[in-house]
Amino acid sequence: MVKVALAPVHDEHLVSAINDAGAQLVSIDDAQALVWIGGADGFPELPDGIEWVALKTAGIEEFMNAGVIDDRRQWTNASGFYAAGCAEHALALLLAGLRQINTAVRNGWDKDGIDTKVRTLRGATVGIIGAGGIGRELTPRLKACGARVLAVNHSGRPVDGADETVPTSELDAVWGRVDHVVLSAPSTAATHHMINDDSLAALPAHAWVVNVARGPLVDEAALHRALVAGEIAGAALDVTDPEPPAADNPLFALPNVIISPHVANPASALTREMAPFLAENIRRFAAGDELISKVVVGRDY
């Protein structure tokens, strides 16, 4: 029986997952595995008996920066666990922009304030940059709206349902081939400011940029310049850099910008969504099998 510690607090969904997987809930000093549902601040010193640590977040930058993650044990994050909710939010942001819901909210009952060229996803090509778990969930949602999907992932292996998949090595050629872009890639040195002056200039003037990934993927100064100049139609951001954004962030003042406060992945749903994956990973750990969403130390995700 696998001995699992849950900290810094107990959660009913995760306690049930641990029990359902046939594991025993114990203190951290007696545990083989630690399920940590807090942040990097306050992360405990790990006893030698801890062989695996499960983190509840998909992004692990704060843990990497704090020097918490080591190569002495296995680590998993929550990459892909919350994909359905993030995909739903990405679609909502994109549709709100294209259908000018944001403009209507700002202007009230002002038909003259609505551009008569209301755009639709029907017939549009949407590029999903970082088409992992979120991309796989978003693809059928976009297809249901009549869009064509161009998926971009590291390997270039085909994404189910996408019309085309290309590797990130060909990303520079993607910007000019899509109508809109959804960012769902991890934050790494390679993805830092992938939305910049050059990529924004290559996008069509009617493009919307949606970011449900991490704030550092977007150079916000370059985005502001492009929006003011009319190089793209709009941007919808669930994440910013830094977070929270400054109250005087100039993006707030633009009518073609939608900013939601990092809620694509609602806090109320985190542990409920994580629970079945945790139970499966406990079973895999007990059997000595490969864990889901295993962190590769040194890869930043």
CB–CB of 79/133 below 8 Å? yes
Query: How many Å apart are CA 174 and CA 287, to the nearest integer?
Result: 42
Task: State the catalytic residue, choosing from 13, 225, 262, 283.
Answer: 262
Longest dimension (CA), the chain: 67
Q: How far is CA 206 from CA 95, 101, 143, 176, 200, in A?
A: 13, 16, 20, 12, 11
Task: State the catalytic residue, choosing from 119, 148, 214, 231.
Answer: 214
Q: Classify the phi-psi angles of 170: left when phi > 0, otherwise alpha if psi is within -120 to 50, otherwise beta.
A: alpha
Task: Note if 154 is an active site residue.
Answer: no
Task: State the catalytic residue, choosing from 12, 170, 243, 290.
Answer: 243
Task: Note if 262 is an active site residue.
Answer: yes
Residues in Cβ contact with 285 at an 8 Å cutoff, skipping those fewer than 6 apart = 2, 32, 33, 51, 52, 74, 291
Query: How many Å apart are CA 151 and CA 83, to the nearest integer?
Result: 15
Please state at what angle helix 270-287 crosses helix 12-20, rounded to 10 degrees.
Answer: 20
Residue positions annotated with a catalytic role: 214, 243, 262
